[in-house]
Structure 1
Amino acid sequence: MVTGEDALFDLEPAEAAHPGFAALCELPLEELMATDWAEALRPVEDQLRDVLAYVSGRAADGSQVLPAASNLLRAFSQPLADVKVLLLGQDPYPTPGHAVGLSFAVSPTTRPIPRSLSNIYRELHDDLGLPPRVHGDLSAWSDQGVLLLNRILSVEARNAGSHRNKGWEAITTAAVTAVANRTDASGRRIPLVAILWGKDAEAVVPLLAGAPSVVSAHPSPLSASRGFFGSKPFSRTNELLVQQGADPVDWELPAL
């Protein structure tokens, strides 16, 4: 099974020895993501191949596509079966060196961290009393079953939103639907809470099959003061998980 520790998915935004965007178009789904994600996304494989071809074409034409090919599908490296929280973002950070394939996260070495993430840390402190970190590595959350998924999985450097309406929406719609409709052996829904920040994220509520959601304004500097601060998303999410019989998330990030 593919995990976040395998060579395809790096914490750093560098390409390292990865073959690049063009090779992604040819690899089987099982080499691009966890096995159960490959099965869940099989119905949209053709659409995924199309959008990977578009991304590869833009890179071949000289555009700087973010994140690196090694991290493009990183959100799907952790097993679908382990997901208990969906934290949905918009599209990757367009600043070179920032996007790492997990929504809101950056490389452990990125300084300063993006302002949206700084606002998330401020709310984390106000909500749970946890210390803000100087780094933006959120992999400790994804390791616990927090799916850090952007609605759009690629972007061109310094051009926010540049890969909207290129095909990613169909892939992430299928991903959200797959997460929301999981059942256990007895047919009961597997616990899930969605954290939806901003209108783009809130728009997926109809896909959640009744799973509870924690909705607020986006943590960006433009909107954080209009409903994000004070929304207590972390404690509310844990309460909703416990109500469903699931373990809460330990939201404290390790210090580097």
Structure 2
Amino acid sequence: MDPHEMPLFDLPTDTSAIDPYPFASGLGEAVASGHMAADWAEALAPVEGELIALAGELETRRASGEQILPAPGNILRAFVRPLAEARVLIVGQDPYPTPGHSMGLSFATLPALRPIPRSLKNIYTELHEDTGAPVPVHGDLSAWAKQGVVLLNRVLTVAAGSAGSHRKLGWEVITDTAMAALAARGGPLVAILWGNDAQSLAPALEGIPTIESVHPSPLSARRGFFGSKPFSRANTLLVAQGAAPIDWSIPVIPPRN
């Protein structure tokens, strides 16, 4: 970078090795610290014990030298906005395993990251072709979350450099309960399920309109993701349920949280 050029985004200070897990003492702590909306805490109350146990396991792993992603304050990011405001659910697998990438929302990245991961780049290509929105210059999807798009990974943490390493650690119980709460609440709601892992959850979302296609990964995007028009289709389904559509465009400067 030219020494006279200012960066477009602030680079956050990494304190992930020392920050406490905001759910270590339970859901009340997560709500009080602003890491979870109160109605999500109510929905997840049946699995509060499992969440506390997860915090203990993560702390043990961190103490042994494992780098855990994303940063503790971002792990519950999908639950910051109220459940009552949810309009679209987009299910991912687990966070990006490269330090500096994941920020707690499925498919999203920290705003300063370059280049954008290939799956997200493919999502942006389809977004442009589907809606005409400009191709975003960063990977922060907070603008979607603020409109009620629940960007939920099935597993909310990962060990740095080891994709899928925290599967079966216990997160599936938490996120299954979250999706059950969405299904029980009902519409207006649309679920976007990309890839076999996400589509396997469709029975748990019975009664919720779903949009399904292959995953946007470079390995599969050309086999049915491109041209699937998930964004315009989601808006059509929302309007049919009496809800406002999502503005899928991504601002050049991400919203402050």
- Structure 2's unaligned 5+ residue stretches are 1-9
Q: Normalising by structure 1, what TM-score? A: 0.89
Deviations 1:30-66 (A, max 9, x none): 2341100110000011111122221221111101100
Q: Distance in 1 between matches of 2:206 and 2:31?
A: 27
Task: Check if 1:250 corresponds to 2:247.
Answer: yes
> How many Å separate the matches in 2 of 1:84 and 1:35?
17
Corresponding residue for residue 198 of structure 1: 195
Q: TM-score, normalised by structure 2?
A: 0.89
Of residues 188, 191, 215 in structure 2, which corresponds to 1:218?
A: 215
Task: State whether residues 13 and 67 of structure 1, in contact with CA within 8 Å, keep that contact through their aligned partners in structure 2.
Answer: no
1:69 and 1:121 map into 2 onto residues whose CA distance is 27
Amino acid aligned to 1:175: A
> Matched residue of 1:181: which SS?
helix
Q: Which amino acid aligns with 2:246?
A: V
3-state SS, counterpart of residue 45 of structure 1: helix
Query: Distance in 2 between the 1:77 and 1:23 partners?
Result: 12
Alpha carbons of structure 1 residues 69 and 17: separation in structure 2 relative to 1, 3 Å = closer
> Structure 1's 42 and 29: CA in aligned 2 closer, same or farther, altered over 3 A?
farther
Residue 41 (structure 2) pairs with residue 35 (structure 1): no
C-alpha deviation, 1:151, in angstroms: 0.3
Look up the match of 1:102: 105
Deviations along 1:144-192, whole A, 9 cap, x unmatched?
000000000000111000000010000000000101111xxxxxx4310
Question: d(CA) in 2 for partners of 1:221 and 1:30?
Answer: 38
Match of 1:58 among 58, 61, 65: 61
Runs of 4+ in 1 over 3 A off after TM superposition: 11-19, 21-24
Deviation by residue 1:65-89 (Cα, 9 ceiling, x = unmatched): 0000010111111111100100110
Task: Give distance in 1, aligned partners of 2:12 and 2:234.
Answer: 30
- Aligned residue identity for 1:210: G
CA distance in 2 between counterparts of 1:255 and 1:22 reads 31
Tell me whether 1:166 sits opposite 2:163 in the alignment.
no
SS in 2 for 1:229: coil
Name stretches of at least 5 consecutive residues in structure 1 with no aligned partner.
Answer: 1-10, 183-188
How far does residue 18 in structure 1 lie from its aligned partner after superposition?
A: 9.7
* Structure 1 counterpart SS, 2:123: helix
Q: Distance in 2 between matches of 1:224 and 1:66?
A: 26
Report if the CA contact (8 A) 1:127-1:230 is conserved: yes
Which has the higher mean CA deviation after the structures are superposed, 13-22 or 99-108?
13-22
Tell me how far apart the structure 2 counterparts of residues 101 and 17 of structure 1 sit (CA, whole Å): 13
Distance 2:204 2:122 in 1: 27
Say if 2:211 and 2:230, in contact at 8 Å, map to a contact too: yes
2:121 corresponds to 1:122: no
Please report how far the alpha carbon of residue 16 of structure 1 lies from its aligned counterpart in structure 2 after TM superposition: 4.7
In the aligned structure 1, how far is the partner of 2:65 from the partner of 2:252?
Answer: 37
Q: Which residue of structure 1 aligns with residue 227 of structure 2? A: 230
- CA separation in 1, counterparts of 2:16 and 2:123? 33
**How has the CA–CA distance of structure 1 residues 138 and 196 changed in structure 2, closer, same or farther, with 3 Å as cutoff?**
same
